[in-house]
Amino acid sequence: MADSFDVVVIGGGPGGYNAAIRAGQLGLKAACIDKRGSFGGTCLNIGCIPSKALLHASERFEEAQKEFPKLGIKATVELDLAAMMGHKTKVVGELTRGVEFLLKKNKAEAIVGEARIASPGKVVVTHNGTTRELEAKHIIIATGSDVAPLPGVTVDEQQIVSSTGALSLTTVPKRMLVVGGGYIGLELGSVWRRLGADVLVVEFLDRITPGLDGEIGKGFQRILQKQGMKFMLSTKVTGVAKNGDVLRVNVEGANGEKQTIETDIMLVSIGRKPFTDNLGLADAGVTLDPRGRIVTDAHFATNVAGIWAIGDCREGAMLAHKAEDEAVACVENIAGKAGHVNYNAIPAVVYTAPEVASVGKTEEELKAAGIAYKIGKFPFTANARAKTIAATDGFAKVIADAKTDQVLGIHILGANAGEMICEGALAIEFGAASEDIARTSHSHPTLSEAIRQASMAVEGWTMQS
């Protein structure tokens, strides 16, 4: 006999577990199914969390080597990669167990197994040869995304690795070739460069981080190059051959010029694709778009009554916090409330050193839309706090509507940008003007003063530069 639930969530990542938790909070009987056996999805297990643990540790390692002497600190530093990986594993374990605790606390059942929609309202879960049938008034698909493959290249997670393999290397490679100049490739490339690898990034487009504001992206690349990372833009990988412990990677430039590059490790990081395989979507009649994403309306409902989708498996940015926001909104809609997500106010962060953070519209997007705007910028070289902590690379940029002064976008290249961008998200959420930020007192000395000064610069009255 099938067990009955109000809401069954397929996928235990940030979208899935938050949906189940919110359902429990609203008094709905909920279950969350995850086939990995360790809840938290890609983010907690093999994505955001382990990468940030290694980014932090590797940044401290390089800081101790290169920056401590500038501050009058003498130290002898030695890398213990096994211990660094142990720190990463410990953090992942604590957080995944925390998710299981939160599900239990909010009376949502955590179910381990592979889920398939047998029909609208019915989910079959298989695990270790056993089968369990669930009946559900509502099914939420939150299966996330998977690594996008590079045509003609087989990832073995040993020499040719995805982000998963790059998080678990047992030795520091002498050379690493990163295919793709997006967030993930640059973050993981930064980790291994700091630990001693010679890192080359090969990007098909003529710029890195194509979703970022163009001016920010150019400044970001200059800083990464100054740190030692190398770039080949407008270049594609056409093939790779193994020669013992060495990889011979064939690349081709936009002008047709071909060459072969030798490397020890190749990281394939060209993006992600929605994970919708083996879910029974076709049998259930759920519509997918040409990119394999589940089609939903503005309230996250699919074309099949009672089936919903959130996170990476539907349209939009593939970000954990976007999935979390959609999870809450979707469940609230199911419960008869007014769930809503403001996509203009969802920030994005690259966790390199310095960090890059962005929220709202870029200059390129506003130009394409024909929207008149004005800009204010402020460099961290003129920020007192940045001076004191020797973190003067980068700048803050505020974009406002030319007529109304409403903040349309905030972009930061600098230390702690990922924390500071929340002020920009809040400003956009509340419909603030740049003058609102400019006339809001900011603690001194802080890095966040750069946002205030950039807001002042929108109207031309910057006080500190």
**What is d(CA 328, CA 309) in angstroms, rounded to the nearest whole number?**
12
Pairing mode, strands 130-141 and 122-127 = antiparallel
AA identity, residue 431: G
**What is d(CA 16, CA 321) in angstroms, rounded to the nearest whole number?**
12
Q: Which residues lie below 8 Å from residue 441, measured CB to CB, with a gap of 6+?
A: none
AA identity, residue 417: A
- With H, G, I as helix, E, B as strand and everything else as coil, classify residue 72: coil
Does 299 participate in catalysis according to the annotation? no
Phi and psi at residue 106, in whole multiples of 5°? Answer: -100, 20
How far is residue 316 from each of residues 46, 130, 296, 312, measured CA to CA in Å? 21, 36, 11, 7
Render 34-50 in DSSP notation, one character per residue: ESSSSTTHHHHHHSHHH
Strand partners, 112: 34
Q: In what order do the strands lie in the sheet with 395-401?
A: 348-350, 355-360, 407-414, 395-401, 373-379
Burial 81-110 (b: 16+ CB within 10 A, else e): beebbeebeebbeebbeebbebbeebebbb
Q: Which token pair is 353?
A: 């050193």
**What is d(CA 229, CA 177) in angstroms, rounded to the nearest whole number?**
10
Q: Which of 56, 299, 340, 444 is catalytic?
A: 444
Q: Indicate if the alpha-carbon torsion angle 116, 119, 123, 124 is positive or negative.
A: negative
Radius of gyration of the chain (CA): 23
Q: Which residues lie below 8 Å from residue 169, measured CB to CB, with a gap of 6+?
A: 161, 192, 265
For the beta carbon of residue 343, count every other beta carbon within 10 angstroms: 10
**What is d(CA 62, CA 59) in angstroms, rounded to the nearest whole number?**
5
Catalytic residues, by residue number, are 444
